[in-house]
Amino acid sequence: MFPLRAAILAVLVSVALCQDDYDYRPPSMLGPSGPNCDPECDCPIHFPTAMYCDSRKLKFVPTVPTGIKYLYLQNNQIEEIKAGAFDNVTGGLRWLVLDNNQITNAKIQKGTIDKLTVLEKLFFSHNNLTEPVIPPSKSLDELKMMHNQISKFPAGLLSDKENLTSIHLQHNQLSTEAIGGAFKGLKSLVSLDVSHNKLKKLPAGVPSSLEILYADYNDIDGIGAGYLNKLTTLRYLRIAHNKLVDSGIPAGVFNVTSLVELDLSFNKLQSIPEINEQLQQLYLQANEINKFELTSFCKLVTTVNFSHLKHLRLDANQITYSSMPPEYSNCLRHASEIIFE
């Protein structure tokens, strides 16, 4: 089980870094189109469950024929999803890709997305949504709505999505209050990205299954005491480009054994927060740090007790290499890179 879970996590991290990617094969690679297809699109006879309607200057979603499971509609000029568009595939459509269009909530007619009962992946990035669009499917495992204008996320919309593992909401207008109850009830969520929003606090109510949390480019000035104690599997935490100050960092808040990467760069910290010895990557560049305290990394140094930190960035602060005490090499014995400038 462990090697499989590690492989899945590696994929999720890769996806988090390339968030507009999905498994897409151009129809030209899959042979001629079959007869049971909208004339505006291609349904390759060698991949008969997919319909390719991407990059065709479409203004609305064409009628989808029976048997289609994967629908690609990205890179069009779609403004409206008309009623009946998905009537033939309400119980069969698995993937719906609507990225890079001009869709608003008001132009999504009832009886369209709200009837997709087995949808697994919904890609709705780079549109004009002001609130999330959630299908009734309990099979939903990936939700991407980046680069919209979403400013509210009503509580309970995701409460029955027990298979949802990945949510991407970066580059929206979300406030802390707007997502207060958005993630409650989720049992399988592994990756959550809420960077480039208007959050003042890390999101509340996230499940203990979470392994990746990105909250870069917000207005976060502090972390709640015990926040990370509830996230016992969290491995990657990024809070770069926020407003963190020392007074907003409770003692030991980052001293949790699960974390392997912590990014606190581009904030207003004046000291290095206490971390756990298991942490491997720590990014603190572009803060106001003026002292190097070894106790931030090691409380006790012995043959078996020492920091496992491999990479440490302290450039663009107010300390230099000479700020480190001579005994740092015993504590940071695994550090292959410590950057001061």
How do residues 213-252 score in pLDDT, each as one tens digit?
Answer: 999 999 999 999 999 999 999 999 999 999 999 999 999 9
Q: What is the pLDDT of residue 18?
A: 44
| Residue 147, CB-side half-sphere exposure with 13 Å CA sphere | 12
- Looking at the DSSP bridge assignments, the partners of residue 198 are 175
CA distance 36 to 62: 13
Residue 69 C-alpha from the chain's centroid: 25
Structure tokens, 61:
């979603």
Segments of the chain scoring below 70 in pLDDT: 1-22, 27-33
Burial environment of residue 230 by CB neighbours within 10 A (0 to 12, 13 to 18, 19 or more): middle
Q: What is the pLDDT of residue 301?
A: 79
Residue 281, phi then psi, degrees to nearest 5: -130, 125
Q: What is the pLDDT of residue 13?
A: 46
Q: What is the pLDDT of residue 233?
A: 97
Structure tokens, 262:
């912590």
Instruction: Tell me the whole-structure pTM to 2 decimals.
Output: 0.91
Task: Determine the residue type at 71.
Answer: L
CA distance 146 to 100: 10
CA distance 227 to 229: 6
CA distance 72 to 76: 10
